[in-house]
């Protein structure tokens, strides 16, 4: 039911399991999907374009630049057409190419240019799968945001037994059904999220300001991931160097007060994630002109900035169904974060140890612990902010569904 009218782009790689793609096409169509297929050069050694086109009722795409295609660029149009992209079988060689960002045929070019969810479905001999090189590529691809279905344990075409066997077409269908069920639910119910990110700048005069360390990357990645999961997300961002994707609505602000005002204007929201490093204090007055060095100037009077997270948590009228805070700490990270979660009435807090130079501020990597109201903790080891965001977003959406279930 959940797959009805979904557009699936299937990329067939060069492994013996490619023959299972025919079964998958049939199952997808029975579920009401539209299927288009890209056949790689090595995939063609295992299945023929004729059998695929007879089943999919569509032409099979093979070359990067198809002269018969009236100048339309397949590598862009195919991914824009699709709701999801499946790569089956994903061979060790294909994983290696994707982890390097190779784009030397239609399949790899489409994957690199894609703006959709990509599911890699590996199949290879157990030794190839557990090889350090493949595992390194697996982790890297995961951190790039690719989703993996399988591989599973089982007997392989070569006669050996172990992990590396491709998930069956039925398992793949069941995975996709779950994925689209959630995504469609959030879309249909028009679930809205606000994510705050970045630092704020509190000006002393036209050139000087007080601010916090923050690149805004973690919040941005969380917002992107929520949007990908079907949640209508608004990112409210302080000044950052990020080149924001057009896939997401971004409202830019400078000061904490502006961020607070825009958050209020964007409410109501079902979910709010406050990851911004809002400056706790701001100058009481902003000098109209640049303060001169020669003038006697030895104090800046400060006042408190509004605490957006606390406002959302304490104010029943505005409280989102799920409120998530961030907690940057340098010591006693977990306990301090739990205290903060209680103080600000959050449902979940993401504890961030910012004492390490290799993760956290201004780098692409992060290491966090997700803590919920029930006291459950989930540590995410050092990984890319994109990967960390995908885990946080999944946790957020599962908690949101739990809350909804309890309310109904």
400 is a site residue for ligand C5P (CB under 6 A): no
- Beta strands in 255-301, from DSSP E residues, in sequence order: 271-274, 281-283
Stretch 241-270 residues interacting with ligand C5P (CB under 6 A): 256
Nearer to ligand C5P, 204 or 324 (CB): 324
Q: Which is nearer to ligand C5P, 114 or 323 (CB)?
A: 323
Site residue total, ligand C5P (CB under 6 A): 15
For every residue of 72-132, DSSP letters joined together read: --HHHHHHHH-SEEEEEEE-HHHHHHHHHT---SHHHHHHHH--SEEEEEE---HHHHHSH
d(CA 385, CA 391): 10
Joined together, the tokens standing for residue 153 give 């344990």
For residues 4 and 304, which CB has a smaller minimum distance to ligand C5P in the complex?
304
**153-192 mask for ligand C5P (x: CB under 6 A)?**
----------------------------------------
Which of the residues 19 through 58 are near ligand C5P (CB under 6 A)? none
Active site residue 33: no
Q: Which is nearer to ligand C5P, 125 or 305 (CB)?
A: 305
Q: How far is the CB of 57 from ligand C5P (least distance, A)?
A: 51
- Residue 157, both tokens: 């075409």
Structure tokens at 56: 């999919």
- How far apart (Å, rounded) are the C-alpha atoms in residues 345 and 183? 28
Cβ proximity to ligand C5P: between 167 and 279 the closer is: 279
Q: Which residues contact 315 (CB under 8 A, 6 or more apart)?
A: none
Q: What counts of helices (H) and strands (E) characterise the chain?
A: 13, 20
Report the site for ligand C5P in 275-294 (rule: CB under 6 A): 275-276, 278, 280
325 binds ligand C5P (CB under 6 A): yes
User: Would you count residue 307 as binding ligand C5P (CB under 6 A)?
Assistant: yes
Residue 93: burial class (beta carbons within 10 Å; 0-12, 13-18, 19+): middle
Our finding on whether 237 is near ligand C5P (CB under 6 A) is no
Catalytic positions are: 158
Site residues (vs ligand C5P, CB under 6 A):
196, 256, 274-276, 278, 280, 305, 307-309, 325-327, 340
């Amino acid at each position: 039911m959940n797959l009805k009218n979904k557009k699936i782009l299937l990329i067939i790689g060069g492994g013996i399991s490619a023959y299972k793609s025919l079964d998958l096409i049939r199952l997808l169509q029975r579920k009401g999907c539209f299927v288009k297929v890209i056949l790689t050069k090595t995939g063609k050694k295992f299945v023929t374009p004729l059998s695929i086109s007879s089943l999919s009722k569509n032409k099979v795409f093979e070359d990067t630049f198809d002269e018969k295609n009236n100048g339309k660029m397949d590598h862009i149009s195919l991914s824009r057409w699709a709701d999801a992209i499946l790569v089956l079988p994903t061979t060790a060689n294909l994983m290696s190419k994707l982890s390097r960002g190779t784009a030397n045929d239609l399949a790899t070019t489409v994957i690199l240019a894609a703006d959709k969810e990509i599911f890699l479905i590996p199949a290879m001999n157990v030794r190839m799968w557990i090889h350090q090189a493949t595992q390194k590529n697996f982790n890297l691809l995961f951190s790039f945001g690719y989703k993996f279905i399988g591989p599973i344990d089982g007997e392989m075409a070569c006669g050996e037994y172990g992990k590396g066997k491709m998930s069956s077409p039925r398992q793949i269908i069941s995975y996709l059904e779950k994925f689209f069920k959630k995504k469609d639910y959030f879309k249909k119910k028009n679930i809205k999220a606000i994510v705050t990110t970045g630092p704020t700048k509190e000006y002393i005069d036209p050139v000087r300001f007080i601010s916090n360390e923050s690149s805004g990357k973690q919040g941005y990645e969380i917002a992107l991931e929520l949007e990908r999961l079907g949640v209508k997300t608004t990112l409210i961002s302080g000044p950052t160097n990020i080149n924001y994707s057009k896939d997401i609505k971004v409202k830019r602000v400078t000061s904490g007060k502006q961020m607070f005002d825009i958050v209020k204007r964007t409410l109501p929201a079902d979910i709010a994630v406050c990851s911004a490093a809002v400056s706790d204090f701001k100058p009481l007055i902003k000098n109209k002109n640049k303060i001169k060095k020669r003038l006697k100037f030895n104090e800046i009077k400060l006042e408190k900035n509004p605490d957006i997270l606390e406002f959302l948590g304490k104010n029943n009228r505005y409280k989102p169904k799920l409120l998530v805070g961030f907690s940057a700490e340098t010591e006693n990270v977990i306990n301090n974060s739990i205290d903060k979660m209680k103080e600000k009435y959050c449902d979940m807090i993401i504890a961030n140890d910012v004492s390490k130079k290799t993760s956290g501020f201004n780098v692409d990597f992060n290491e966090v612990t997700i803590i919920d109201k029930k006291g459950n903790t989930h540590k995410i080891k050092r990984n890319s902010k994109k990967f960390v965001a995908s885990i946080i977003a999944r946790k957020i959406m599962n908690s949101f569904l739990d809350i909804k279930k309890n309310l109904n």
